[in-house]
Amino acid sequence: MAASGMKLIDASGRDGQSALEFINTQPEAPRERHGKGGRSAGDPTDGAPGSEIAVRLAYAEPSVVHVIGGSETEFWTIASGETLLLRANGGNGGTGGRGEHGQDGGPGRCGCDATRYRLAGRGGNGGNGGDAGFGSNGADGGSAGNVYVTVAEDDTDLLSPLYFSVKGGSGGESGAHGAPGEGGQRGRGGKSHCEVCINVNRGDDTVSTYPGVYKLEVVRFDITDENQDGINEPGEHLLVHNLVVRNAGLMPSPATRSIHVLIQGTQYLEPVSSEPLQLPFGIRPGQEVEVSGLLRAFIRDQAHGEPVGSMVDVNDCVQLVGVFHERLNRPIPGFCGQTPIRIGYPLVLDAPIYLQSVAKGDRARFRWLVSCVTLAVTMEQTADED
């Protein structure tokens, strides 16, 4: 059974630590005393920068990609159905701290009550509240690292299971202010002046370097039915032609490894796998190519589990799949989206209309309604039955 899942080589920097905060536990100041100022938050730490990843790709057995580390002692095996993520992100900056609230001022002295012989005394002023502590700034995110991949010119198909994540860490959130102090500022994001370098060793001892891998995707194609009546009818073939493919990546597609294109099989579509289309070699970045020829898929009469004779009127989708078929037998990710189609017969026969009972020796008339989907008209056929 083929393995599945994503493996990871991670050289990302550590996230920074959040700032130290003080818990507001100060009681109010004594009577007629001013409150103490709140303590300011501590400083968070910056995110650490990402490190460097350097690997080499090699082919050793069918459907398997070998990834060798720079020290030659590190080794990863990417089997069929598996992918590999090379990640060298910068660490996120720590969050700024909240400043401590100022202490509440003490209450004023109470005034004296009035008596027969004197006026009421005036109460004393309450103390002022203390200043709030300052919130600290968020820390800066770490810079991204670099990823270097080396591969032979004849082995660039081995790049297909690789994914990359190389970005600077985000700045830490600013600390909230104490009441009524001032808040800090958000930290700066880490720099993304990083590199993804694909080094292709050529047979003439030269090296070509690219900032990313190829990315092949379908631009458009036409769908027709076999007899050109506009109905995708079970029992006939669905045809795909006028296929256009674009390289939306940053390096040419493989120059020596063929890529076959077929219609993806579904519950109702059975691709003719013996008649694939082959993409041109070495499609340049940004280039669009038209692929000559056509693809066929047989439209099944009945889906699995449906009773024979049941009406077929279903919605399906046409999706193309590109595959490195020679040695990896690995589909190209994100190659084509889905195009909806309708599958059905050109004629629909309704249940017959007839009398509920017929006396012995009498003749009855049965009537069927036949709808012609192709011509968008309705025809009625009458038959006499004994």
pLDDT band at 383 (very low <50, low <70, confident <90, very high): very low
207 and 233, same domain (yes or no): no
Q: CA 182: distance to chain centroid? A: 40
Same domain? For 312 and 263 the reply is yes
Looking at 61-70, 97-106, 124-133, 234-243, which range is the least confident one? Answer: 124-133
Average pLDDT score over residue span 15-24? 75
d(CA 172, CA 182): 17
pLDDT at 102: 66
The predicted pLDDT at position 113 comes to: 60
Does one domain contain both 266 and 200?
no
Same domain, residue pair 152 and 40: yes
Same domain, yes or no: 179 and 287? no
Using 50, 70 and 90 to split pLDDT, how confident is the model at 138? confident
pTM metric for this prediction? 0.72
Give me the pLDDT at residue 185, please.
46
Which pLDDT score is estimated for 177?
47
Beta-carbon-side half-sphere exposure of residue 44 (alpha carbons within 13 Å)? 32
Tell me: the pLDDT tens digits for 200-232?
999 888 999 999 999 999 999 999 998 888 888
Tell me: pLDDT of 264 over 70.
yes
pLDDT for 2 equals 41
* Structural domain boundaries enclosing 263: 216-345
**Could you write out the DSSP letters of every residue in 294-327?**
EEEEEE-SS-TTPPTT---EEEEEE-EEEEETTT
Higher-confidence residue of 297 and 180: namely 297
Question: pLDDT band at residue 187, thresholds of 50, 70 and 90?
Answer: very low
pLDDT in tens, 139-157: 788 888 899 999 999 999 9
Question: Is the domain of 230 the same as that of 375?
Answer: no
- 203 and 81, same structural domain? yes
Regarding whether 128 and 2 lie in a shared domain, the answer is: yes
Phi first, then psi, for residue 152 (nearest 5°) are -75, 155
- Residue 254: pLDDT over 80: yes
Per-residue confidence band for 48, with pLDDT thresholds at 50, 70 and 90 = confident
Is a pLDDT exceeding 80 seen at residue 63? yes
Given this model, what pLDDT does residue 33 score?
66
User: How large a percentage of the chain has pLDDT more than 90?
Assistant: 38
pLDDT value at position 154?
94
Closest CA to 186 of 200, 161, 169, 198: 169
What amino acid occupies position 365? Answer: R
380 and 335 in a common domain: no
- Please give the share of the chain, as a percent, with pLDDT higher than 70: 70
pLDDT of 380 > 50? The answer is: no
pLDDT for residue 275 is more than 90:
yes
Asked whether residue 136 falls in the same domain as residue 264, the answer is: no
Mean pLDDT of the chain: 80
Give the chain's domain count. 3
The residue with greater pLDDT, 366 or 68, is: 68
Same structural domain, 200 and 230 = no
Is residue 256's pLDDT more than 60? yes
**CATH number of domain containing 295:** 2.60.40
pLDDT band at 72 (very low <50, low <70, confident <90, very high): low
Q: Which residue has the higher pLDDT, 29 or 201?
A: 201
Average pLDDT rounded to a whole number, residues 190-202: 75
- Check whether 50 has a pLDDT greater than 80: yes
Asked if 251 and 205 sit in the same domain, the reply is no
Kindly report the number of other CB atoms within 10 A of residue 59's CB atom.
Answer: 16
- pLDDT digits 0-9 by tens, 285-322: 999 999 999 999 999 876 555 565 567 788 899 999 99
Per-residue pLDDT, 376: 34
> Of 212, 234, 261, which closes a domain?
212
Report the 10 Å Cβ neighbour count for 214: 23
Position 167 scores a pLDDT of 84
Band of residue 238 on the pLDDT scale cut at 50, 70, 90: very high
Strands (E) across 75-175 are located at 75-78, 82-87, 146-152, 162-165
